[in-house]
Structures are given as C-alpha cells and as structure tokens.
Structure 1
C-alpha cells in the first residue's frame, strides 16, 4: 500500500513536466510575436518632415524620367545619316517623350483655390459738418521750378517670373520642351540637314530649362559643392546719382 502514493506522486510530477514542456515554447513564441509587433509598430512611424523631402525626391525623379527619353531621341538623331530618321522611328521616340511629360503633368498637384475676401461692412454715415465762414483769399504762391526726373533703375530681370509658383515654372518648361521636340520631329523627317542642328539645340535648351526649373523652383536645398560660382548680385543703389535739391524748398 505504501507504493501507491509514490506512484501517484511520480505521475503528478510527470504530468507537470509534460505540461511545462508544452506550454514553455508556446509562451516563448507568444513573447517573440509580441516583440516583433512592437518593433513593426515602432518602425512604421514616419520620419519628421518626410512629406517635404518626398516632394523633393519626386521632383528629382521627374527630371530623371524626362532625361532618358529625350537623350535617347537626341542620340538617335545625332547618330543617324544626315540627322534623318524614318517617320515611324521618329514618331515613336517623340511619343515616348510626350507620354513621360503627360504622366508628370497629370501627377502634379492642382493649385489651391484662393478664398474669396470677406465683404467689407458699410461705413456709418458721417454727420454733416457745420458751415465754415469764408476764408479771405491768400496771395498766389510763386511757382516752383520743375523737379528733374530721376533716372530709371536698371532692370534685374522680369519681376513677374520671380512671383510665379514653382509648379508653373516647371509646367512651362515641360510645355516648351514638347514644342522643341515637335520641331525636332519635323526637322529629322524633312530631309533638310541644315534644320537638324538648330532643332537639336532647341531640345537641349528645353531640357536644361526643365532641370533648372526643378532645381531652382522645386524647394531643393542649395548646392554646397566647393568651387561653384555664386549667383550674381543685384546692382547696388549706392551707385545711383543723388537726387538734386529743389531750390526754395
């Protein structure tokens, strides 16, 4: 009879060991899964200021997507016999450029609508002022000599361009590039060799305008490479002639 309790104790210990062996790995797996979820939740937090940086990256990506089809077109033209391509080949290259520009233009955000100005309330009526007695006439003041006109300030550029939005500058640059590409299409299928070089130059200039509009008007950081020339300074107002004094004043 004494052997029976010992057997029961051994059975209880064996069952507890089996339960621990089953529950232990499950608990460890649950802890690991919870830790992985915590790490994933922490890694999904966006970087501060990511929206502005993503806009800059997109602008650079747009430039890259335009560069490839345009440079492919120019390479084909400049390597062709007398700069002439077949109508189908030239049209295919031009269509690729136009499709790329259309994708960029369609993805550009629309300009926000300007809210209407609130209505100005009507001013209260001003009571009539009492009549003022007539003032005796004063002697006539001698006329002053005419003041000489000031010389015109030198123009430092078109002010209207500086007030335009970056999206407008980029859109205008892309539209000008498309016009230059259309002129190139005419030149490379016309048989006129003399028209090819000016048309290619126009496309290169249009492509440079697209890059410049993106770099200078897209909110990108200023270049920091040593040796780059500085932007030209505006003319100093100290060099302007002094305004002559008006005699008798």
Structure 2
C-alpha cells in the first residue's frame, strides 16, 4: 500500500512539470512581440492635427442640435408662438452650446513699462475707414491684414439671431417669427461655413461641389 502514495506524488510532480513546460514559452518575454505591442500604441502621424479637426466637427454638432431643436419647435408651434418657459429652455440650451465653443482670446500678462523720453509729436495720419482691418507688419517689413476671428464672429452673429428669435416666438407675431427663423438659419449656415473654412479642415473632395472659397 506504500507504493500508492508514491505513485500519486510522482504523478503530481509529472503534471506540474508538464504545466511548467507548456507555460514556459508564453511566460518568457518575446522581444519581437513586445516591440509590436509598443508600436501599436504609438500615436498616428499628425494625430494632434486630426484630433483638432475632429473636435471642430464635434463642436459644430454640439451647436447644430440645440439650434435646430429651437427652429423646429418654432416652426411647428401655432403661429410660431412658444410659451416663455419653453422658449427660455430652448434658448438657454443654444446659449450654453455656443458658449462652450466660442474661442477666447489669450490673456497677455501686464508687465511694467520703462519710462521713455518724450519726443516730437508725430504727424497726424489719415483715419482708417470703418470695417478695415488694421495692418500687421512682419519681420521682413511686409504688411498683412490682421486675421479676422471668423468662427467667433459667426457664433456671435448666431447668438444675436437666436436672441431675436426668442423674442419673436414669445410675441405671437407670425411674420416676425418667420423673419427671425430665416435670419437664424442664415446665421447657422454662416457658422457651418466658418467652421469648415476657419477650422483648418480638409477641403471637400466631391467633384460636383463648387470649389470657390474653399481651400485645402
């Protein structure tokens, strides 16, 4: 009877040895496999640029939805009239969406200036016509027009149009609502165009689309 426990011990040891032998190759690190895994985790080329493009589209979608919700509600309402509570709720959703994507100007820290010696007064210059962008001077001396905040301006115009629409849908004047809806749709289209042109997105590639005003 003493032989039985010995055989069991030998059998257990054999099984353990077989398990260790089977797991051995998997347990040992494979440099080639580790290199492949590390390469798969590496970022894509130009990932930051692509992420910025995707974000601009996501921001645009975040504005489109609440604006179209408001427009649909106004167009489906009797004479385009909404209750004050509903108009406020829909208008607040649009305002919050616009606020989330409105670009903010970077703040420049104020540094103390060194007093300068007074000089002779400069000759008066011709006034700059209204609507003309101020000129910027490059290091080489060339002047270029100051870039306009196209997306920010479009969002501000959209918010103004929405404010007018909110006022119209609570007034009960159907003609006023129709005008405000038209202006809001136009402002929304301008926001889409500003995002596509000013958001550094690739130009559309459909051959049937007009290319005027679009840049790659």
TM-score of the alignment, normalized to the shorter chain, above 0.5: yes
Q: Which residue of 2 aligns with 1:6?
A: none
Per-residue deviation at 1:163? 3.9
User: How many equivalent residue pairs?
Assistant: 178
Q: Which residue of 1 aligns with 2:163?
A: 182
Structure exhibiting the larger radius of gyration computed from Cα positions: 1
How far apart, CA to CA, are the structure 2 residues paired with 1:227 and 1:49? 29
Pair 1:86 & 2:120 matched: no
How far apart, CA to CA, are the structure 2 residues paired with 1:95 and 1:15? 72
**Map 1:93-172 → 2, pairs under 5 A:** 93-105=90-102, 108=103, 111=106, 160=133, 163-164=146-147, 168-172=149-153
In structure 2, the CA distance between the partners of 1:26 and 1:109, relative to structure 1 (3 Å rule), is farther
Relative contact order, higher structure (CA 8 A, sep 6+): 1
Per-residue deviation at 1:44? 1.3
How far apart, CA to CA, are the structure 2 residues paired with 1:72 and 1:204? 12
Q: Which residue of 1 aligns with 2:40?
A: 43
Pair 1:195 & 2:176 matched: yes
Q: Which residue of 1 aligns with 2:27?
A: 30
Secondary structure at the counterpart of residue 133 of structure 2: helix
How far apart, CA to CA, are the structure 2 residues paired with 1:15 and 1:80? 81
Q: Which residue of 2 aligns with 1:219?
A: 200
The equivalent position to 1:209 in structure 2, one of 190, 196, 209, is 190
How far apart, CA to CA, are the structure 2 residues paired with 1:59 and 1:82? 36
Per-residue deviation at 1:191? 1.7
Secondary structure at the counterpart of residue 160 of structure 1: coil
How far apart, CA to CA, are the structure 1 residues paired with 2:48 and 2:132? 30
| Structure 1: gaps spanning 5 or more residues | 1-9, 117-157, 233-249
Per-residue deviation at 1:42? 2.3
Per-residue deviation at 1:85? 0.4
How far apart, CA to CA, are the structure 2 residues paired with 1:88 and 1:109? 30
| Alignment RMSD | 3.4
Per-residue deviation at 1:210? 0.8
Per-residue deviation at 1:207? 0.6
| Structure 2: gaps spanning 5 or more residues | 1-6, 112-130, 135-144
Per-residue deviation at 1:40? 3.8
Per-residue deviation at 1:31? 4.2
